[in-house]
Amino acid sequence: MSFNPPVYKYSDYVKWEGDWELIEGYPFAMAPSPFGKHQNIMFKLSRYLDEALEECECEGYTELDWIIDEKTIIRPDIAIYCEEIEKYPKTTPKIVIEIVSDATASKDEEIKFKLYEKEKVEYYCLVYPDFEKVKIYKLDDKKYDKIYEGDGKFKFSLCDIEIDFKKIFKRRKK
């Protein structure tokens, strides 16, 4: 006897309680609320990106559903779109940033990596708060190439956004 798990659609997804992502029809429960370090890094990155995008026609969003199709709805930690968004984005983001935790590592590094590559997200950034490092991938034709790994400064070609990750990881003095 073989078991074929059910495949779900957007019409199912909108009825679910709690936080979910739907990838190719298969549900993934979102990790529990992130810990303080994760939230602090997301806050700092959001603030940093908002300032960097002031002179650009792009906007940043945190935890906004990206409805790719009827069977794939995901919620990146941070996404940069160069379109006007009313309710949900209708195009692929230019930059996606996922803040990686133990609970999300395999999904972020494997499943979402392949999905973002397939959907042609120009830059995919994995931020590792526990290791205070970042990996940045750029889409080259049809596949991602790792173009940066570290904890220093990185400059995106999009809107000349430069992020100093040392400042992102730095804790305030008490």
Give pLDDT tens digits for 47-87.
999 999 988 989 999 999 999 999 999 999 999 999 888 88
Q: So what's the pLDDT on residue 120?
A: 97
Q: Where are the beta strands (DSSP E) in the chain?
A: 20-23, 26-29, 59-62, 66-69, 72-74, 78-81, 95-99, 123-128, 133-140, 143-150, 153-155, 162-164
Query: Could you give phi then psi for residue 131, rounded to 5 degrees?
Result: -105, -5
Structure tokens at 20: 């979910």
Nearest to residue 130, comparing CAs of 76, 172, 79, 169? Answer: 169
> Exposed (0-12), middle (13-18) or buried (19+): which is 21, by Cβ within 10 Å?
buried
pTM value is 0.90
Question: 121-141, pLDDT tens digit by residue?
Answer: 999 999 999 999 999 999 998
